[in-house]
Each structure stands twice: as structure tokens, then as C-alpha cells.
Amino acid sequence: MQSKTKKLLAALIAAGFVPAAYAADIKLGVAEALSGGAAQYGVSIRNGFQLAADEINAAGGINGNKLVLVVEDEQGKKEEAINVFKKLIFKDNVLMVFGPTLSNSAQAADPIAQAAKTVAFGTSNTADGITSIGNYVFRNSVTEADVLPATIATVKAKTGLKNVAVLYGNDDVFTKSGYDNFKKALEDQKIPVTTTETFAKGDVDFKAQLTKIKGTNPDAIVLSALLAEGAPIMVQARQLGLNVPVIGGNGMNSVKIFDLAPGGASNNLWIGSPWSIENKAPENIKFIDAYKAKFNGSPDQFAAQSYDAMYIVAQALKNTKITGELPKDRAALRDALPSVTWTGATGPFKFRQANDRAGKPAGYDADQAPIVSVTKDGKYVI
Ligand code: 1QQ
């Protein structure tokens, strides 16, 4: 485009006469928890998106068009996720939205994207039912339903556990869904539960529940928690002399646990994930090296999944003709996404269609198998 025409177009966009999608930039919304307790995950997620978008742009963008991220902090709160989704979709006119960080927020905000026929792509939502919201809802995060049975089976095989105590947060979509799936997996694998205890978001003292658990002498603790509560739970369990394995879900799968539960308190934590820092596949080594160089620290699963998600969307965009008509472009991106396959930091990836509550086809889940790791001296090892 000649510079005069470019200037005129920029003026028309600024004055609101022409939607921004007419520009050659492809605007993608990023709605993640960048402050508050869930920022433990959200900052890594944002870093993964930035790294991938920078790499894609440096390699020529999408058919010559540049990816531009519009990043918003949804604070890990569902009301804020709703606000941010509305801003990105209706004011910023983004082509699609990545996020939000927590399933708790996704359950509230994704219906807005669905109603606006705009893709909502979660890279960290693992609760049941998120992709039942509708056919514009995608995720590449592997669900608790897919991960937890494998995690339990591995710990059983490796430690010979005979029974477990269960501890979960009963006021969060993810921690409750983790509990439901743990319960089912324990029943299916015929592992008795010695006691089931609960906590709520914001709790800081878990000694009452842990003392009760200790009294039942379990072989392991099954824990469905986010880091904000899960890390102090590990610290207090170890203080009480409860040194049994802790079996966690996605919320406990972060290198932040080593800082939040220091001095060995984080040892013997078992989690399942498609991503491991130990995976020596070339795509993963490239990702880890590039992440370290850009952010001066090691990546985690959350960064790996957002990094891969950006490439998955880039693949879909390469097969989408961007016309500048936003509703048309949003629908075209949705239609191009389900058939994308991609081998990235988390290994080979493809989508699997989910059903809604009535059993009709809805959104898309990740079709990926987990690897189970255990923490040892500040590392997740396979
Ligand atoms: C969810 C999760 C959290 C651990 C996201 C960071 O898996 O809320 O679904």
C-alpha cells in the first residue's frame, strides 16, 4: 500500500469509519490473569504467546500480514474476564480471543465470544464442560478428565499405594471438576478414599484438614487445587510430617511450586501433562532455548501450551482468506481451526470435537496424551 493510502486508512480507522480489520495487521486478543494469584500461570501464558507471535512475524507473518497481540489483564476474576472479553471483541475488534486463564473465568466469559461468533481459545482451561459452551470454543490444554486417570494409575504402579485421602477446593470450576474426575478415576481403579476434605479460595490455614487426613494414615494425598492454596497446603502437610506423595492436577503443574513450597516441601508431587522440560524433541528444545533467551528464565507447561496455540492459530490463518469483513473473517478462522494439526513444544497435536449437554457437537478439546512426572529437588522428572 502507498503511504498516502496507508495514512488515509489509518485516519479512517482512528475516526471509526473503517473497522481495524481492514488494516494489514491481524489483531488477536489475549485475555489472561496478569495480576492476582492466577498470575502465577497467566504471565507464563502471555510470554508463550509473545514468543510465538514474534517468531511468526520475524518469519514474514501470515501471508505477509503481521500478528498484533492486544493483551488485557483479566485478573483471574470471572467478572473481569467478562469485561475484557467484551472490550476485545466489541471495541478492539480482534479477530479472536485467547484465554482466559482459569476455567472459572472461561465458564463465565466464553459464552460472550460464542454469542459474538468469535473464537475463544483457552490454553490452560482443563475443567469439564468448557468446550460444551459452543462451536467457537477451542482449547489445547488437556482436560482433567484425560489427565487424572493416567496420573493415578502411574502413581499406583510406581508406589504401590493402597488408599488415598482427597483434598479439594469446593468453590472453583477447575478444582471442583478436578475433584469429580479424581473421584471417578479412584472408583474406576478401585482405590479406597480414607477421607475427603475441602477448602475455599483465599484460605491460608489448612492444618485442620491436614491433621484429619494424617489421622487416616493415607498412602497419598489427592489434591485438586490452584497454586495459591496448593503451595501452602504442601508446606503445611510436610510441617505436620505428612510426607506421602501428593497427586495434583493442572493447577499444581508449575515450576512456581519450587519457590512457593521451598526446602523440599514440594518434593513427591505427581502431575500429568503433555509437556515436559525433559522432552528432547527438536521442537521443544527450540522452544525452551528461545524462551530462556527472551525471558531469562525456564518455561513451564503454561508457556509451552500458549506458544503452541499461537502456531496452531497461525496454521489456520494461513488457510484463511482475510477479507477485512470481521464477521466473515471470524467465521472463516473458526472453520479453519478444527482440522489443524501441529507438532510443537507439547508434541503432536490435533483437536477432538466435544459435545454440548444435549450430546450435540460443540467446541474442540485437545487430543493429546499426558506424561506423568514427579518433583524431586526443584525439578519435574519423568
Ligand atoms: C483451569 C486450570 C488452571 C490450573 C489454569 C491455570 O487448569 O482453571 O482450568
In this prediction, residue 23 carries a pLDDT of 44
In this prediction, residue 330 carries a pLDDT of 98
Does ipTM exceed 0.95? yes
Give the Å distance between the CA of 55 and the centre of ligand 1: 26
In this prediction, residue 146 carries a pLDDT of 97
Q: What is the pLDDT of residues 26-50, one digit of tens each?
A: 999 999 999 999 999 999 999 999 9
The pLDDT > 70 percentage for the chain reads 94
Give the Å distance between the CA of 249 and the centre of ligand 1: 9
pTM (2 d.p.): 0.93
Sheet of 193-199: strand order equals 193-199, 164-169, 221-224, 246-248, 269-273, 371-375, 380-381
Residue of 43, 103, 128, 257 to mutate, ligand 1, most atoms within 8 A of C-beta: 103
71, 43, 69: which is closest to 57 by C-alpha? 69
Nearest Cα residue to atom 9 of ligand 1: 125
124 close to ligand 1 (CB < 6 Angstrom):
yes
127 close to ligand 1 (CB < 6 Angstrom):
yes
In this prediction, residue 22 carries a pLDDT of 44
CA pair distance 35, 211, nearest whole angstrom: 32
Q: Which atom of ligand 1 is nearest to the CA of 253?
A: 4
In this prediction, residue 382 carries a pLDDT of 86
Instruction: Give me the residues of the chain with pLDDT under 50, please.
Output: 1-2, 20-23
Residue 365 phi, psi (nearest 5): -100, 170
Residue of 43, 125, 224, 252 to mutate, ligand 1, most atoms within 8 A of C-beta: 125
Q: What is the pLDDT of residues 208-255, one digit of tens each?
A: 999 999 999 999 999 999 999 999 999 999 999 999 999 999 999 999
In this prediction, residue 100 carries a pLDDT of 98
101 close to ligand 1 (CB < 6 Angstrom):
yes
In this prediction, residue 278 carries a pLDDT of 87
